[in-house]
Homo-oligomer: A and B are copies of this chain.
Amino acid sequence: MKVVLLGSGNVATHIGRAIHNSPHTLVQVYNRSIENGEKLAQELHCEYIQDIEDLVKKADLYIISIKDDALEGFIEQMPVVNGIVVHTAGSKPMNILRKFPSHGILYPLQTFSKQRSLDFKNIPLCLEADSESSLSSLKGIAKDLSNSIEFVDSDKRLTLHIAAVIVCNFPNFLFTMADDFLDKHNLSFEILKPLIGETVDKVKESPPGTVQTGPARRGDKKTIEKHLKFLSENEKLGKLYRFVSNMIDEYYNHPDNS
């Protein structure tokens, strides 16, 4: 299949690399900003276009992977093409693409940073399409990119996106808060890494609800109060600690209020 990539951010970069390493052919990378677009096109050995009017009309698949809040405006400007047009956003419904006769979704459930290489084969790809024939074509390329293909409608995709924020973005922010806190006390985040690794290894084997540990799980209010007292100089972290501890305590120790 001939593929055009529209965008050159984190998600676009990783999808582009996966296609480049597949039997399919990238023919163009579009990006309004010349610097990122040209760099990615060069890496992927394909044409760079800055003007959407230069879009090739005969590709089989167009993957729009730009910022969520710019997506609808961009789709409006884009010329109508016959190939399948998909976007990669977790929280945008498929029907924003309805001006294209054949359209769908290719949503990779992963967190991407340009500088990190990832084995794309392990990334769940959530697919949706306007018709059986679009879905079948989309599946044809998706199965060459990943071993994990899911068929997910727009509502379920939104659900997955919310869950992804909760299990990825939120924990990473907790790591950041802990890093800052240790730094303030001249301790290194390094010492927490075995603990963080084990926290995740545990839930690969057991449902997370069954392996919860810690003072809030035990309903150990004395330890919680001690921690909060120590955090009294650190207003934000104290508020966060109290908020989450209360939720854990209610969940396990006062489920009737939940």
Interface residues of A (CB under 8 A from B): 10, 67-69, 91, 109-113, 116, 118, 122-124, 148, 150, 156, 158-182, 185, 187, 189, 191-200, 202-209, 211-218, 220, 222-223, 226-227, 230-231, 236-237, 240-241, 243-245, 247-248, 251, 258
Contacts and interface: CB of A to CB of B under 8 A. Distances in A.
Number of copies: 2
A166 B178 contact: yes
A109 to B, nearest CB: 6
A171 B169 contact: no
Given A111-B213, A178-B163, A192-B163, A258 B230 contact: no
Contacts of A164: 192, 195
B227 A162 contact: yes
A198 B118 contact: yes
A174 to B, nearest CB: 5
Contacts of A245: 165
A68 B215 contact: yes
Contact of A161 (B124, B173, B227): B227
A243 B174 CA distance: 13
B218 A158 contact: no
Contacts of A214: 111, 165, 168-169
Given A207-B189, A231-B162, A91 B172 contact: no
Contacts of A175: 167, 203, 208
